[in-house]
Amino acid sequence: MRALICGAGIAGLTLAWHLERDGWDVKIVERAPRFRHGGYMIDFYGPGMEVAKQMGIRPRLLATQYPIDEVDYVNGEGRRTSGVTFTGVLGDGLNVMREDLAQALHDEVRSPIVYSTSIESIRRHADSVAVRLTDGTREEVDLLVGADGAHSRVRELTFGPEEHFVRYLGRQTAAYTLKDEELHREIGMRFRSLTVPGLMVAAYSQRDDGLAVLFLRQEPDPRLPDDIVAELTRHYGHLGWILPKVLSLRPPASEIYYDQVNQVEMDEWSKGRVVLIGDACQAVSLFAGYGASLAMAGAWVLADELRGAGRHVPGALTRYHARMAGPVAEIQRFGRQSLEWVAPGTRGRIVARDMFMRLMNLPGANRLMVAPLATAGKGLIKPHSAPLIDQTGRA
């Protein structure tokens, strides 16, 4: 059986890993010219961690994790106004950079990844899918998977335009990393965040004098700016704190992650033998902080349903959606409720957030913050009675 996966992100790589070991012949196409670095820090726990354990990559994640268990809110002078400690809240979860998780997955995948390539057109047949790639080649496969993120091309070609499925949450986000010894020392191993009405900036230190920065801005217009560097400078340049230096040391625009904050909601995730996974069909947004975990869970559940389905692929795709839909809706609801806490729109809300954070420091209270997520997706990932073995006998 042949599968073509569009998108070498968290979901696509996880699915490739599982299908390879189940004997599928897998090919991945990725629009970017090379493996994509960059992104932000992930709270990685829940079903994604269960999948990571089964794949054997948890030790590698432990080696690259950042032990961040404190969030400090600061003002324009860098003075702390409130904060919360998270020690133990993630259970066996951890904080890891998105790129370290993606790299750990990438290094375990054996299937070819064809970079600078996407999907030009799709023709669905009863027993196969005919695909024309942007490099001019054609593929005839048993399964086509759209793992190409919130702005999925496979979704557009199969289900229609983005605006039917994407719910814009009124925010735009950016993230990048830089190197600076002084900033690294000043921020330390804490998540430090500055919030003014409608704007949020967070910074946290990384290995080797690195600093990761995350920006979040309220913006009613979903259109992305043409010049993201000018946009960042215009909105954040006057905020004080470490911003002037952080902006002057930014990488080139091509290395800055910049996107709308979106959720993707769809009633069906497959048509015939074309299926979507990850953000393409279930984006929960950074407010839920669960996107990567859920992307890995979705890939796992899809592989689980395909196992044993033989040629009855469409039925397996329908069952995969039925298993995922409930947890995804629950986490999306949580994400929308968190909006005003993560990036308050008014001064009053910022004051309320600071008061709430002080309460969260009472013994055990901080667990309440992740309580809705602690149960969501529980039971999605069944334990394997034996290690996953591929056809070549390798675990």
Ligand X SMILES: Cc1cc2nc3c(=O)[nH]c(=O)nc-3n(C[C@H](O)[C@H](O)[C@H](O)COP(=O)(O)OP(=O)(O)OC[C@H]3O[C@@H](n4cnc5c(N)ncnc54)[C@H](O)[C@@H]3O)c2cc1C
Give the interface with ligand X as residue ranges (CB under 6 A). Answer: 6-12, 29-32, 36, 38-40, 98, 118, 147-149, 153, 173, 175, 257, 278-279, 286, 291-292, 295
Q: How far is the CB of 256 from ligand X (least distance, A)?
A: 10
Q: How far is the CB of 317 from ligand X (least distance, A)?
A: 17
Q: How far is the CB of 214 from ligand X (least distance, A)?
A: 6
Q: Which helix (H) or strand (E) holds 174?
A: strand 166-179
HEC string of 329-376 equals HHHHHHHHHHHHHHCCCCHHHHHHHHHHHHHHCCCCCCHHHHHHHHHC
Q: d(Cα 368, Cα 372) in Å, to the nearest integer? A: 8
Tell me whether residue 128 or residue 263 sits nearer to ligand X (CB atom).
Answer: 263
Backbone angles phi, psi at 338, to 5 degrees: -80, -15
Q: How far is the CB of 391 from ligand X (least distance, A)?
A: 26
Reduced to 3 states, what is the DSSP secondary structure of residue 92?
A: coil
Q: What is the DSSP letter of 253?
A: G
Q: How far is the CB of 147 from ligand X (least distance, A)?
A: 5
Tell me whether residue 35 or residue 356 sits nearer to ligand X (CB atom).
Answer: 35
Tell me whether residue 52 or residue 82 sits nearer to ligand X (CB atom).
Answer: 52
Q: How far is the CB of 202 from ligand X (least distance, A)?
A: 11
Q: How far is the CB of 36 from ligand X (least distance, A)?
A: 4
Backbone angles phi, psi at 120, to 5 degrees: -90, -50
Tell me whether residue 12 or residue 344 sits nearer to ligand X (CB atom).
Answer: 12
Q: d(Cα 314, Cα 317) in Å, to the nearest integer? A: 5
- Position closest to ligand X via CB: 9
Long-range CB contacts (within 8 A, 24+) of 123-127:
124/158, 124/271, 124/272, 124/273, 124/274, 125/272, 126/272, 127/273, 127/311
Tell me whether residue 176 or residue 241 sits nearer to ligand X (CB atom).
Answer: 176
Q: Which helix (H) or strand (E) holds 104?
A: helix 98-106
Backbone angles phi, psi at 394, to 5 degrees: -85, 140
Tell me whether residue 10 or residue 201 sits nearer to ligand X (CB atom).
Answer: 10
Tell me whether residue 246 or residue 292 sits nearer to ligand X (CB atom).
Answer: 292
CA angle, corner 188, sides to 187 and 192, nearest 5? 45
